Amino acid sequence: MGKVVLFDGECNFCDGSVQFIIKRDPDKVFSFASLQSEEGKRLVEKSGIPLGTDSMILVEEDGSSHMKSGAALRIVRELRRPWNLLWVFILIPYPLRDGVYNIIARNRIKWFGKRAACRVPTAEERERFLDY
């Protein structure tokens, strides 16, 4: 299965983040599933993450998982330059990183809006989504 990014499929900011990753991940390191999908719920439960978690989650190949800024930084580390250089922010203590993450997460719907339903990926993207 590889590395899986779990995201809020109804959030415009989260959808934009997935599109950002897809465009900068030519080696197709990541697959995707929305938190609302059956596959997303299964992966959350299997990873031991509390149900109802509303955060971007990265599930690694070995089954370990990362949330919030830890997930975001591990994702950008795999992207092509210059984005992978953002990995250096892992040196900032996670309470500070997650504090910034939480501000964005709390306001993402207000700032970027919400969808009535998950966006349907294009035929080309569909192979990277576990819930299609």
- For the chain, the structural domain boundaries read 3-122
Report strand pairing: 65-67 vs 57-59.
antiparallel
Q: pLDDT for 23-34, tens place per residue?
A: 999 899 999 998
Question: Are the C-beta atoms of 115 and 21 separated by less than 8 Å?
Answer: no
Report for 49-53, 82-86, 116-120: range of highest mean pLDDT: 82-86
Cβ atoms of 33 and 82 within 8 Å: the answer is no
pLDDT the model gives residue 115? 66
Residue 1 has pLDDT above 70, yes or no: no
- If one counts every other C-beta atom within 10 angstroms of the C-beta of residue 16, the result is 12
User: Has residue 48 got a pLDDT over 90?
Assistant: no
Greatest extent of the chain over all pairs of C-alpha atoms, in Å: 40
- Helix spans in the chain (H): 12-23, 38-47, 68-77, 94-112, 123-126
Q: Does the pLDDT of residue 97 top 90, yes or no?
A: yes
**pLDDT band at 57, cuts 50/70/90?**
very high
DSSP 68-92: HHHHHHHHHHTSPTTGGGGGGGGGS
Task: List, edge to edge, every strand of the sheet that includes 30-34.
Answer: 30-34, 3-7, 57-59, 65-67
Stated pTM of the model? 0.84
Residues 114-120: what's their mean pLDDT? 63
